[in-house]
């Protein structure tokens, strides 16, 4: 936003209409000429100065629609654009920040719990050393953790003392500093020294000001970003000592990262941190995602305050799509209210109504495709939380294969009668294609993972199912090989996008095959999802092949398969025989040879790196 | 040096097994008019030996002075350039390579190399016989496109180069290529021929051969001369002097496959399937070609199977062998075969024994 504002000022001034400047100063004028939006203007339009209006109109289309609309909305909203921006527009999230306990959208019970906890601590005599002063609050982003603490503090009349992360050091600054001889201090270092200081001086401070000043609450919200194991251990140590020894009420907020694409590491860290803090004696409160109803209530209240008339449908939709994130819901609402007449025309209401319709319709398997289409169109709305899933989450859904339990009578009413062996209960999830698109899974990846893990999930009796599942995976593999080694030159495929289609068809076949085939899933329990061993095998196979290719041509040219299946075993045998090592060879299980070691060698620096080994230990809870 | 290499006949005259073919080839070459040749036949039948001997016949001892080259190729294919590295074995008169090593870009390599060869025409002392020979191994592994482009280049450059193609099965070579070549079928040697060769080697090595011993090796060799000689040599290392009933050790991977087969027969469950998968991976890591694994596995399974099921099992093996060629990752398909077999066998057991 900050970047954008000066630009807005410039464009609203009359500079644009100035006569064309000499071409030499083009580079200087170009940035100024940028109309509203932050989107970069293409260099091709550098001849702009002569006909600014026209180019502006054309450019506007090219902008990222969202940002353009938002800015336009902002401008239209205010009579005097540009200058007034700062004072006039206040984000509703800030404006309607809760000030009273009643305004909080969080469950009353939780708030009471936290409030009581803090009150107890604030009022207890300081001599009581048995009491622990640390409180950990966890919850997803936007459930109102900080808001709750702020409200409670003002309610109790305590002073909030907050750890604010210092501004990050830029690279240039760092260079500058190191030239001057200043040592670099990471954010973690700074945090550590901060904690150190508060531990040492807090007692002094409070005993000094006892009775005179308001009670103090130390709020640690923004934990420094940690990278790597060592840093994590330092942070944990730091926090645990703090929670051990603090004599001031300390509230630590931990944001629960919903499992995003970034991989398992932050999640792991967060969970570990939480447990270690609890072990150190800190009390813990978890805030659940806010319910749809209370979000709706809040949104209605804001609408009334702002004097906007928004349909109940829209609010309903926003509340549902926000996924329990109230901050997000409010911002969405503000965005919707910007230009109720222009943007939210027929298209939106239509989309919403269809979405609602599809939600009302029962989850029949046949309607799932239609539903899928609706969901896609819903995803294209410019708001709503990003609903990506991790690969592991998606795989878990496919592998666990949860289905509704329906009674036979309901199925009888279906128009198409299938044989019993083909009947399956309706899925307890979205259509597999939607899940795949959310997980952003490539065909190959999905197929390999499913192949590696699916056998664990099939009940031990059902070998027929295993065959069915694997035969579907086979088909997926065939589809993929057509997609990846195309008959046509590759660029042709890219041009028509057929590669992508083949990929997604293959992954859909794989996922649906697994879902359909596994009609007797094994009892649900914890399973570890492994990363495909196939990848390792392929790598070491490649290495072995190369090695063999060299050997082959050294001795005598013959083709690879003969070499592998005829020569090599014999040569190996002969070599071992000469070194008097025959006993081991009698045992056929000696067969695994150094090839496997190869795999480990590459694994540390090779391609497998793309899939961090930690991830493979991810466990998917059966819930 | 292995006996296989040591006693490989170097000239067409010395060839024992396919004497007739050798004589015909000699006649063909001496008349100076050599067409393109396609050798096909099962592994271990002596295709390569014939080709090497033929080259020597054509060019004299110069053909034996070969050098190994790992040459990078830069190929301009329309909008992009492909960079490949390919190992070739070449003398002044011929180049030998394995085009299927290039994967699915094989068609470019074929065109490019042949063009490259055609540019430099070797001249012998008389200024005559100005052609080079390109030996292509494993032509049956080439993609359809590559075979297509091979056809075109064969015609275009036939003045300056001759192709000698070598493959196991001519059915995977397109009609077009087959009709442009003189097809030489190199059949697998009969047990008698193998015995003859083994006795020849035994005489050269001054070995005492107990009666019937070579016949037993020949019977176990699957009519592959190479395998027979190799196991002959291992027997020699294992125990000498030979005894009449000396055990002939099978190849370790074959033993492993039969172990897998008995695993499959013992229990049919997803868990067992997973175990089998691990064992298959071990075979694949050692570069045993998946087709051969599947074939061997099938024959091992058939040995222990009720004849009622044999037909169906064979059908599925063929089905998945075909799928394997269409697909990319062999393990999927071998495993699907195993799973299918398990499911068939289990229902058979239930039907029979209740």
pLDDT of residue A165: 66
Q: At what angle do helices B290-303 and B330-353 cross, to 10 degrees?
A: 10
Contact of A491 with chain B, judged by CB distance below 8 Å, is answered with yes
| Residue at B244 is within a domain | no
Q: Is the pLDDT of residue A52 over 50?
A: no
Q: Are residues B273 and B327 in the same domain?
A: yes
pLDDT of residue B294: 94
Give the structural domain span for B63. Answer: 3-185
CATH of the domain at B19: 3.40.50.300
Reported as a single tens digit per residue, the pLDDT across A546-564 is: 787 776 655 555 566 677 7
Q: Are residues B136 and B30 in the same domain?
A: yes
> Rounded mean pLDDT of A414-418?
65
Say if the Cβ atoms of B287 and A541 lie within 8 Å.
yes
| Torsion, CA A264, CA A266, CA A267, CA A270, rounded to 10 | 150
Of A455, A555, A566, nearest to B273 by CB-CB distance is A455
| Residue at A368 is within a domain | no
| Residue at B174 is within a domain | yes
Q: Are residues A505 and A542 in the same domain?
A: no
Q: Are residues B69 and B28 in the same domain?
A: yes
Q: Are residues A334 and A428 in the same domain?
A: no
pLDDT of residue A409: 52
Give the structural domain span for A28. Answer: 4-89
Say if the Cβ atoms of B252 and A585 lie within 8 Å.
yes
How are strands ordered across the β-sheet holding A159-163? A159-163, A216-220, A249-256, A134-140, A283-287
Which residue is closest to A486 within chain B, CA to CA?
Answer: B104
Which residue is closest to B52 within chain A, CA to CA?
Answer: A557
Q: Are residues A49 and A157 in the same domain?
A: no
Identify the CA nearest to B137 among candidates B103, B184, B83, B101: B101
CATH of the domain at B330: 1.20.272.10
Reported as a single tens digit per residue, the pLDDT across A228-272 is: 777 778 878 888 887 777 777 778 877 766 544 444 455 556 677
Contact of A545 with chain B, judged by CB distance below 8 Å, is answered with yes
| Residue at A503 is within a domain | yes
Binding-face residues of A in 566-585 toward B, CB within 8 A: 566-574, 577-578, 585
DSSP notation for B268-329 = -SHHHHHHHHHHHHHHHHTT--HHHHHHHHHHHHHHTS-HHHHHHHHHHHHHHHHHHHHSS-
C-alpha triplet A303, A308, A314: angle, nearest 5°: 70
Say if the Cβ atoms of A595 and B286 lie within 8 Å.
yes
Q: What is the total count of domains within chain A?
A: 5
Contact of A39 with chain B, judged by CB distance below 8 Å, is answered with no
Reported as a single tens digit per residue, the pLDDT across A160-177 is: 777 766 676 777 777 777
Looking at B199, B214, B238, which one is the last position of a domain? B238
Looking at A264, A287, A310, which one is the last position of a domain? A287
Distance CA B120, CA A577 (A): 48
Give me the percent of chain A exceeding a pLDDT of 70.
54
Instruction: Give the H/E segment covering residue B90.
Output: strand B80-90
Q: Is the pLDDT of residue A345 over 70?
A: no
Q: Are residues A160 and A47 in the same domain?
A: no
Q: Are residues B217 and B131 in the same domain?
A: no
Reported as a single tens digit per residue, the pLDDT across A189-201 is: 777 777 777 776 6
Query: For every one of its 354 residues, what pLDDT tens digit does chain B have, with 9 covering 90 and above?
Result: 778 888 888 888 888 888 888 998 888 888 767 788 999 998 888 888 899 898 888 888 888 888 877 777 777 766 677 777 777 788 888 888 877 777 667 777 777 777 777 666 655 555 555 678 888 888 888 877 788 888 887 887 777 788 899 988 888 888 888 888 889 899 999 989 999 999 999 998 888 888 888 888 888 888 888 888 888 888 888 877 787 777 777 888 888 999 999 999 998 988 899 999 999 999 988 888 898 899 999 999 999 888 889 999 999 999 999 998 888 888 999 999 999 999 999 999 999 887
Q: Is A21 exposed, middle or buried (0-12, 13-18, 19+ CB in 10 A)?
A: exposed
pLDDT of residue B273: 92
Q: Are residues B64 and B113 in the same domain?
A: yes
- The residues, any chain, with a CB within 8 Å of residue B280's CB and separated by 6 or more, are B260, B293, B331, B334, B335, B338
pLDDT of residue A255: 74
| Residue at A612 is within a domain | yes
| Residue at B247 is within a domain | no
**Residue in the structure block whose two tokens are 């040591």:** B6
Q: Which of A110-114, A118-122, A478-482 has the lowest mean pLDDT?
A: A118-122
| Residue at B243 is within a domain | no
Q: Residue A523 — pLDDT band, cuts 50, 70, 90? A: confident
Enumerate the residues of chain A whose CB falls inside 8 A of the CB of residue B249: 573
Q: Are residues A508 and A541 in the same domain?
A: no
Say if the Cβ atoms of B101 and A480 lie within 8 Å.
no
Q: What is the ipTM of this complex?
A: 0.81
Q: Are residues A415 and A505 in the same domain?
A: yes
pLDDT of residue A14: 40
> Rounded mean pLDDT of A450-466?
86
- Provide the 8-state DSSP code for A203: H
Distance CA A136, CA A218 (A): 12
How are strands ordered across the β-sheet holding B182-185? B67-77, B80-90, B94-97, B132-136, B161-167, B37-40, B182-185
Q: What is the total count of domains within chain B?
A: 3
Q: Are residues B142 and B270 in the same domain?
A: no
Q: Are residues B178 and B201 in the same domain?
A: no
CA distances from A343 to A69, A70, A310, A335, A338 (A): 8, 10, 14, 10, 9
Shortest Cα–Cα distance, A588 to chain B (Å): 6
Looking at B164, B185, B206, which one is the last position of a domain? B185
**Residue in the structure block whose two tokens are 């015995």:** B195
Q: Are residues A116 and A254 in the same domain?
A: yes
Evaluate whether B157 touches B114 at the Cβ level (below 8 Å).
yes
| Residue at A101 is within a domain | no
Q: Are residues A540 and A402 in the same domain?
A: no
Q: Residue A428 — pLDDT band, cuts 50, 70, 90? A: confident
Q: Are residues B206 and B147 in the same domain?
A: no
Q: Are residues A465 and A542 in the same domain?
A: no
Q: Residue A56 — pLDDT band, cuts 50, 70, 90? A: very low
Q: Are residues B292 and B321 in the same domain?
A: yes
Say if the Cβ atoms of B288 and A565 lie within 8 Å.
yes
Across A400-409, A557-566, A567-576, the highest mean pLDDT is recorded for A567-576
Q: Are residues A245 and A312 in the same domain?
A: no
Q: Residue A565 — pLDDT band, cuts 50, 70, 90? A: confident
Mutate to test the interface with B, among A445, A502, A557 (most CBs of B within 10 A): A557
Which residue is closest to B2 within chain A, CA to CA?
Answer: A571
pLDDT of residue B243: 79
Looking at B203, B238, B273, which one is the last position of a domain? B238
- The residues, any chain, with a CB within 8 Å of residue A82's CB and separated by 6 or more, are A5, A8, A9, A12, A75
At residue A364, the 3 state secondary structure works out as coil
Q: Are residues B54 and B179 in the same domain?
A: yes
| Residue at A181 is within a domain | no
Distance CA B185, CA B150 (A): 21
Say if the Cβ atoms of B289 and A555 lie within 8 Å.
no
Say if the Cβ atoms of A588 and B252 lie within 8 Å.
yes
Q: Are residues B110 and B51 in the same domain?
A: yes
Show the beta-strand stretches assigned E in A58-173: 134-140, 159-163
At residue A611, the 3 state secondary structure works out as coil
Say if the Cβ atoms of B331 and A559 lie within 8 Å.
no
| Residue at A135 is within a domain | yes
Which residue is closest to A574 within chain B, CA to CA?
Answer: B234
Q: Is B234 exposed, middle or buried (0-12, 13-18, 19+ CB in 10 A)?
A: buried
| Residue at A379 is within a domain | no
pLDDT of residue A531: 82
Enumerate the residues of chain A whose CB falls inside 8 A of the CB of residue B221: none
DSSP notation for B205-224 = TT----TTHHHHHHHHTTT-
Residue of A115 and A498 predicted with greater confidence: A115
Q: Are residues B48 and B164 in the same domain?
A: yes
Q: Residue A387 — pLDDT band, cuts 50, 70, 90? A: low
| Residue at A504 is within a domain | yes
Residue B25, both tokens: 């080839």
Q: Are residues A132 and A272 in the same domain?
A: yes
Looking at A89, A116, A140, which one is the last position of a domain? A89
Looking at A27, A56, A89, which one is the last position of a domain? A89
Say if the Cβ atoms of B326 and A478 lie within 8 Å.
yes
Evaluate whether A24 touches A46 at the Cβ level (below 8 Å).
no
CA distances from A497 to A403, A433, A501, A507, B120 (A): 34, 18, 7, 16, 43
């Amino acid at each position: 936003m900050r970047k954008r504002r000066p630009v807005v000022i410039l464009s609203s001034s009359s500079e644009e209409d100035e006569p064309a400047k000499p071409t030499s100063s083009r580079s200087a004028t170009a940035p100024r000429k940028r109309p509203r939006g932050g989107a970069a203007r293409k260099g091709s339009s550098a001849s702009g100065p002569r006909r600014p209006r026209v180019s502006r109109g054309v450019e506007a289309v090219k902008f990222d629609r969202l940002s353009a609309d938002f800015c336009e909305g902002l401008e239209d909203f205010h009579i005097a654009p540009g200058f007034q921006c700062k004072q006039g527009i206040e984000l509703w999230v800030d404006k309607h920040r809760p000030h009273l306990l009643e305004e909080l959208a969080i469950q009353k019970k939780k708030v009471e719990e936290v409030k009581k906890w803090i009150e107890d601590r604030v009022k207890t005599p300081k001599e009581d050393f048995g009491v622990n002063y640390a409180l950990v609050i966890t919850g997803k982003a936007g459930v109102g953790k900080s808001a709750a603490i702020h409200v409670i503090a003002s309610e109790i009349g305590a002073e909030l003392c907050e750890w604010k992360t210092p501004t990050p050091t830029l690279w240039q600054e760092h260079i500058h500093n190191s030239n001057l001889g200043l040592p670099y201090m990471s954010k973690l270092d700074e945090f550590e020294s901060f904690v150190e200081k508060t531990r040492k001086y807090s007692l002094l401070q409070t005993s000094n000001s006892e009775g005179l000043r308001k009670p103090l609450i130390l709020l640690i919200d923004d934990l420094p970003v940690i990278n790597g194991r060592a840093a994590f251990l330092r942070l944990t140590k730091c926090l645990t000592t703090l929670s051990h020894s603090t004599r001031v009420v300390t509230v630590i907020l931990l944001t629960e990262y919903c499992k995003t694409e970034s991989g398992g590491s932050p999640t792991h860290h967060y969970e570990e941190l939480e447990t270690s803090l609890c072990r150190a004696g800190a009390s813990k409160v978890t805030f659940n995602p806010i319910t749809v109803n209370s979000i709706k209530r809040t949104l209605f209240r804001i609408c009334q305050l702002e004097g906007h008339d928004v349909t109940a449908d829209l609010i309903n939709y926003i509340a549902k799509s926000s996924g329990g994130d109230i901050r997000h819901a409010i911002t969405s609402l503000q965005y919707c209210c910007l230009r109720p007449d222009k943007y939210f025309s027929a298209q939106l209401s239509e989309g919403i109504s269809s979405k609602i319709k599809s939600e009302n319709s029962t989850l029949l398997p046949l309607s799932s495709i239609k539903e899928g289409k609706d969901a896609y169109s819903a995803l294209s709305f410019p708001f709503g939380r990003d609903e990506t899933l991790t690969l592991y989450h998606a795989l878990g859904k496919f592998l666990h294969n949860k289905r509704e339990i329906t009674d036979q009578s309901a199925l009888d009413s279906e128009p198409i009668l299938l044989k019993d062996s083909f009947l399956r209960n309706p899925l307890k999830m979205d259509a597999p294609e939607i899940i795949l698109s959310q997980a952003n899974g490539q065909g190959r990846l999905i197929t390999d993972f499913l192949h590696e893990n699916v056998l664990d999930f099939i009940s031990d009796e059902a070998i027929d199912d295993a065959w069915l599942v694997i035969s579907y995976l086979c088909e997926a593999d065939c589809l993929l090989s057509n997609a990846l080694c195309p008959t046509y030159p590759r660029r042709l495929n890219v041009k028509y996008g057929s590669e992508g289609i083949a990929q997604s068809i293959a992954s859909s076949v794989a996922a649906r095959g697994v879902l359909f085939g596994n009609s007797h899933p094994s009892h649900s329990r914890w399973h570890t999802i492994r990363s495909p061993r196939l990848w390792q095998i392929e790598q070491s196979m490649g290495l072995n092949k190369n090695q063999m290719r060299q050997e082959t041509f050294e001795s005598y040219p013959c083709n690879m398969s003969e070499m592998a299946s005829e020569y090599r075993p014999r040569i190996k045998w002969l070599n071992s025989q000469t070194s008097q090592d025959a006993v081991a060879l009698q045992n056929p299980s000696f067969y695994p040879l150094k090839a496997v070691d190869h795999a480990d060698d590459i694994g540390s620096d090779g391609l497998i790196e793309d899939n961090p080994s930690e991830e493979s230990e991810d466990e998917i809870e059966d819930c | 040096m292995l006996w296989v290499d040591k006693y490989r006949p170097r000239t067409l005259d010395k060839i024992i097994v396919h004497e007739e073919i050798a004589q015909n080839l000699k006649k063909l070459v001496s008349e100076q008019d050599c067409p393109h040749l396609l050798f096909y036949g099962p592994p271990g039948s002596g295709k390569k030996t014939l080709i090497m001997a033929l080259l020597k016949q054509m060019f004299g001892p110069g053909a034996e002075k070969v050098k190994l080259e790992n040459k990078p190729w830069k190929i301009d294919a329309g909008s992009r350039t492909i960079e490949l590295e390919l190992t070739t074995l070449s003398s002044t008169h011929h180049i030998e390579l394995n085009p299927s090593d290039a994967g699915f870009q094989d068609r470019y390599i074929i065109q490019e190399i042949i063009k490259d060869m055609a540019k430099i025409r070797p001249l012998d002392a008389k200024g005559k016989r100005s052609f080079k020979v390109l030996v292509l191994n494993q032509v049956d592994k080439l993609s359809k496109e590559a075979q297509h482009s091979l056809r075109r280049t064969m015609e275009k450059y036939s003045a300056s180069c001759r192709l000698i193609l070598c493959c196991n099965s001519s059915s995977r070579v397109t009609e077009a290529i087959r009709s442009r070549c003189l097809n030489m079928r190199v059949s697998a040697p009969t047990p008698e021929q193998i015995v003859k060769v083994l006795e020849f080697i035994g005489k050269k090595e001054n070995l005492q051969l107990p009666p019937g011993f070579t016949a037993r090796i020949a019977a176990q060799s699957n009519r592959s001369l190479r395998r027979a000689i190799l196991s002959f040599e291992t027997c020699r290392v294992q125990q000498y002097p030979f005894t009449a009933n000396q055990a002939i050790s099978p190849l370790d991977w074959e033993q492993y496959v039969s172990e897998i087969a008995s695993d499959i027969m013992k229990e049919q469950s997803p868990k067992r399937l997973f175990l089998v998968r691990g064992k298959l991976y071990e075979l694949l890591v050692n570069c045993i070609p998946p087709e051969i694994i599947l074939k061997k596995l099938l024959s091992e399974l058939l040995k222990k199977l009720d004849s009622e099921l044999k037909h169906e099992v064979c059908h599925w093996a063929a089905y998945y062998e075909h799928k394997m060629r269409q697909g990319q990752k062999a393990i999927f398909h071998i495993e699907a075969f195993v799973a299918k077999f398990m499911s068939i066998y289990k229902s058979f057991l239930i039907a029979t024994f209740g």
